[in-house]
Structure 1
Amino acid sequence: MKKQSWVNLKRKLKWITKKTLPYSFEERLQKLNEVWMGWVNNYRLASIQGQAQTTRRVAEEPTQILYLARLEETRAKT
């Protein structure tokens, strides 16, 4: 697996999880799933277990931040 492919995946995940993009939480999750599944299907024959765990952490952190921000907005409205 090329290092550039790994860099491109991380860049796409970070772009999708930007808070400034006008996507709902569900749309972000759908887009993350599309990118992730496309990448996994493309490289499924390669040994990606270690990188898959790292990618999961890269995608989870911003997603958790978005979820918490959405939760705070909901609480503020009530």
Structure 2
Amino acid sequence: ACGASIEEFHKTDMLAAGIWIPQNPGAGRGKRAGFHLNKLYSPLGWRSWASLVEKWDAAQVAKKSGNSGPLKEFVNSS
């Protein structure tokens, strides 16, 4: 890490400059590779980092109350 702040508006350039490397490049030769990305990678205007933090915080509060459902949903869909 370089120690610099990464603001949400940087995502567009970071995504464009990204190099996606498959974890199992030998699987399915001649087929298309698929990738799963969590919502932190969402382009600007889709899902904001702030909204993800709000959902995470709410899931943590629910978990402390004995309700792990929101946390499971966050982990499985984010």
Instruction: Establish whether TM, by shorter chain, passes 0.5.
Output: no
More helix by share: 1
TM-score of the aligned structures, taking structure 1 as reference length: 0.29
TM-score of the aligned structures, taking structure 2 as reference length: 0.29
* Greater relative CO (CA pairs within 8 A, separation 6+): 1
Between structure 1 and structure 2, the one with the greater Rg is 2
